[in-house]
Structure 1
Amino acid sequence: MAGKFDFKMSKFNSDHFSTSFAWFRTMRDEQKLVDVVLNVNGKDFHCHRAVLAACSPYFHTMFTGNMSESRQEKIVLQDDTAAGVKVEVAAMEEVMHYAYSGEVRVTSDNVLQLYVAADLFQIDFILQHCVRYMEGQLDSSNCFGIFSFADMFGAKTLRGKSLKYICSRFGEVSREEDFFQLSPSQLCDILASNDLAISDEMAVWSAVISWIMHAPNSRKDSLVDALTCIRLPLLRDSDIDWISEYITMSQLEQDVDGPMTSMDKAVEFWKEGQSCAQQRVGEAEEMIVVFKARQKLEPGVATAGQTDIEAEELACLTRDGRVYSTTKPCVDSILPLGVVSAHEWSIYIFAFPEASYPSFHKYDCVQNEWTQLASPPSRHDYKNPYITHVGDKIYLFFSSGQTENMHCFDMRLREWRVLSVVPRVVFTDTKLAVVDKYIYAVSCEFLFRYNSIGEEWTKLWSLADSGVSVEKIRGVVGVRNTVYCLSQNALYAYSTDRNQWKQLDTTGVPGVTTTTSVDSGPHLVSFQGHLHLLVAYKGVAIVGYRFSEVENKWELALHIPCTYYIGTQFHCITAKLFASRLGTGEMFKDPLHEIDGT
């Protein structure tokens, strides 16, 4: 018999750990086999040493080493007030919940307390999720508080994220009350950053003097250090003289050691070359970003029949005709393409190669670099993808089988979420536009609105309902409270306030109707708060027209001679970017070319 059954068989029970810990939770609730009691601020927590030691190096050392606590049945956890460490009862309850379930429950009410407890108990998983949560919740009202918290606990990643947020919005957030609670060293760390988004260096002086005057008696000693954060070589001599006079008139000078004043010392600091006066990142400005481009061929070289090639870089066009460039996207092919611009001066693109799974990428203008993000959660074939964004969420709509699907990417939490299936009629030859917190899906026959907060679709008054027959929608865009819709030969405006359509003028715009010189377009974009229409002409230029609602006509607004040959898959969006971090631009002064008689 032994020979007949002489083999080994193993089977893994995937439910073993979850079932075992479920029993541990039950035994803890019933106080069975518990072997230690932790007392936190007067409340007892009955638990099992083995469970705590398994998830926390702090408790592992406490229970397995030669510490006196290893032999005690009841342990009182003392606060370290000098280090600012105090474990709250609510935070300890969440630590216990994690130890016995593996689940972290982070909220705005408990995140700071939970981080303090997890930091003391050295539970990395909880720490990571607390940091991730705080990164996702950064806004103008809490960025300084989170920065100071991260500084206190040495959370380098969180400190870096909050510092980046503060610098990119410095003009806005420096008026917040928490700004005036910064320590001198924290203030100097912020003001020393090259990424400070400011109009000029005098904005740094304004921040310095506001911070000092908030508590002048106690902050006079920090004047010299704060002044050295101002890049004096970037200021005019008259500005430096004005600052010196202001300091004297405000009686901010301490007892001067010798003949040198505070400003003298700051000037001497820069003269000694202890730090270079590098230009700041400056202020972000709205640009038109052009995708699917290649280097322009020499004038007179025929382009007919030549195959488009992928972009080495993206062209960024400003209102006054400057042209900048990004670094190359980190994809071999960006077509078919879904593109959105979003908060924090970033561009997000989906690449949908025909034979592989889609990839998702982010362009960070401050760093001028591309990074690949997590792809959508499910492996569909992604036919007819539509991309748009509302606030800090990106929405991906696509066909799969007989259904229309929605996925949502939270840019703050960097997570995907699968939303409800969309009725097929919503995305039948549809274009998307965003107004306020709503997504509008426009087609020849239907108009639907998606509420991103309530996550529901509503059918609205469509072009067809208004008696308008349209064969094809060429483009839609949201501008203020209006959705503009361009058909084959007409422009329509939908008022989101009145739920009404009206037809507008399209005369005098090359490219709205078919023309042989148009390489690609027209494309509708919202630029500088107005409706713009962009057309790419073969070997000539990218031309933009602005629609004047007052005069109900199009006006020439933008003319960029082609540094790039724009292919037939011309894509464009608008985004706020930092010119100082892009490739070197060039101001074009060429006269307008004669295009289709314009």
Structure 2
Amino acid sequence: MISSSFPCHRAVLASCSPYFSGMFTSGYAEAKQERISIQDVSEVAMATILDYAYTGCLQMEPDQVQAVISAARLLQVDFVCCKAAEYMKDHLDVFNCVDVLMYADMLGDCGLVKASERYIASRFNQAALQPAFLQLPLPLLQSLLKRDDLITLSEDDVVQAALRWINFNQEERLQQLPALRRSFRRSFVSSKQLAEIESKLVYSESTNQRLGYERTEMQIFLQNEFLHTTHQPAPCYDPSTGRLYELHIPGNLDGLYSMIFTPDEELYLAGGIDATDVMQKKFYQYSHLLNTWEPRCDMISPRVWYVLLFQASTRSTERYDPSLDEWTPIPPIPHSTPARLCAVTLGDNIYVISEKGCYSFSTTENTWNKTADMLELPLSPQAVTYQGCIYCIDCDKEWRDFSGTVEKYDPANGVWKQTGNGQGFVFTGATLMKLGGSLYLFTVPKSDTIYVHQYDPEIDCWVLVEDKGRLVPPLQWLGTGYRVDCLMARMIPKCLGDWKLEHGLRVHSVPLRMFPYVSEDDLSDQESD
């Protein structure tokens, strides 16, 4: 084995390390030797500790941290141990959190164990798919599965994670089934899952609902301003209770960002401005439990602020794989896209709608296809999927005719048609929104009143309804004709802060446009609708 030598001073080492202090002030032979040998310390770890001893600065790379901590513990450099542990807390992600938990448990670092477990709880479904999860010792697995704050959509996910752990080494781990019996909440396990495992598992008698089940549909209002750079939280409105909450936005976005809520109920945000243009490459994923935005892989190309996947005025397109935290190019869209477009998912296809026409991208075939165009090409389209069809409206009418209709696209016949037998609406701003299994249209005429219309698919009619269900939040600036974007997402109220009335949102003269999430209509949605 090749060893490395580091020139240094006894006094410097002794001043920061009781290990070296005892070595140099005792009768040990090392006290008089010009060279001393340190076993079980890597070259990188030794260099890092010596840099700290001489400069007071501690710099590490993610793949070096465990070696640095182990060396610092051996050499009794407590400050380095603490700082390295803090570094690991600050750099937890889906791919390393389980490894960090096991390492922290081995070290007996309670603070790092707690931080790791909390992070795993916040990303449970993803963390449970990592190879390291299958290596967890039983006590750590039990500790995780018993947590009330697991962010998961179903108790079945918890059961499946435990069964994967058992099946990894079934011969030895089947005997651990009794030890896992108090980890599962029987009242929340599906009947199908119960039938599969009822004969093998005994469940916890706990009736506490896990935090991840407490999601509720909320409206997130986003105000994007070209001139506004002060960091502001976004108001989240719960129509079921009429309460307002606040969602913090990363402070380095300078007020410009876009946000989507995915079919698997993850919230992502893209933003960040370069020095020369209003472009964004930064990408974040929201952690409900930690109430923070976690950085993810930057996009390949800068994107204009109002489009997540597409580069305006070009054909560049890319997709994100959360399992790899990676952006990859996909075939370019056949036609250069204008500044204002919208995209929705339906089945295995992504539909892109703009005044240049409509295109669909097959995620299974990785190809683009031209579809039928809307009857009236929209300047500023906004769409949602509902009961297996796409509903779209041109939501910005300030610069032309003030009337508009909602058009419906049925992929079964590939045809667009007007809904409500051509029923028209007069507005300067409008948005479609799917909430609680119903489809709504909000319209804002020249006055500051917001009208709510509910769609009745049985008779193909939009019915004006009184907002008894608190669909419209109590925000005075919402109906003023100013630019506000609206995203529908399932959030956890307990994890959000209460909205503070002193949060004044600056407004400017850009028409109201509210966008719901890039929605999906899978089979379960169609059945429930």
TM-score (norm. length: structure 1): 0.50
Output the CA distance in 2 between the equivalents of 1:522 and 1:153: 57
Contact conserved, 1:440 with 1:447, CA < 8 A, in 2? yes
| Aligned partner of residue 149 in structure 2, secondary structure | coil
Matches within 5 A, 1:121-520: 121=75, 122=77, 124=79, 128=83, 131-132=86-87, 135-136=90-91, 138-139=93-94, 141-156=95-110, 158-216=112-170, 218-219=172-173, 222-232=176-186, 234=188, 243=197, 245-246=199-200, 263=202, 270=205, 276-282=206-212, 287=217, 289-291=219-221, 314-316=236-238, 323=240, 328-329=245-246, 348-349=248-249, 360=250, 375=252, 386-388=256-258, 394-397=270-273, 403-404=276-277, 411=284, 432-435=306-309, 440-441=311-312, 446-447=313-314, 462=336, 475-479=340-344, 484=352, 492-493=357-358, 504-506=374-376, 509=393, 512-513=396-397, 514=402
Identity rate of aligned residues, in percent?
Answer: 20
Q: Residue in 1 aligned with 2:414? A: none
Which ranges of structure 1 fall in alignment gaps of 5 or more residues?
1-39, 79-85, 248-262, 271-275, 294-309, 318-322, 330-346, 350-359, 361-373, 377-381, 465-472, 546-553, 585-598
* Residue of 34, 38, 49 corresponding to 2:10: 49
Moved more, 169-178 or 233-242: 233-242
2:59 maps to 1:104:
yes
Q: Alpha-carbon deviations, 1:94-141, whole Å to 9, x = none? A: 433454564624143x333233223444364575357546754622x4
Which amino acid is the alignment partner of residue 291 of structure 1? F
* Residue of 430, 445, 450 corresponding to 1:522: 430
Residue correspondences, number: 403
* Residue of 537, 547, 567 corresponding to 2:479: 567
Change (3 A) 1:145 1:461: same
Higher strand content, 1 or 2? 1
Higher relative contact order (CA 8 A, sep 6+): 2
Change (3 A) 1:511 1:196: same
Cα offset, 1:280, TM superposition: 1.0
Which ranges of structure 2 fall in alignment gaps of 5 or more residues?
224-231, 261-266, 286-292, 319-325, 362-366, 378-391, 405-424, 499-529
Q: Residue in 2 aligned with 1:22? A: none
2:442 maps to 1:535:
yes
| Aligned partner of residue 199 in structure 2, secondary structure | helix
Query: Aligned Cα RMSD in Å?
Result: 5.7
Change (3 A) 1:72 1:536: farther
Cα offset, 1:172, TM superposition: 4.4
| Aligned partner of residue 573 in structure 1, secondary structure | strand
Q: Residue in 2 aligned with 1:33? A: none
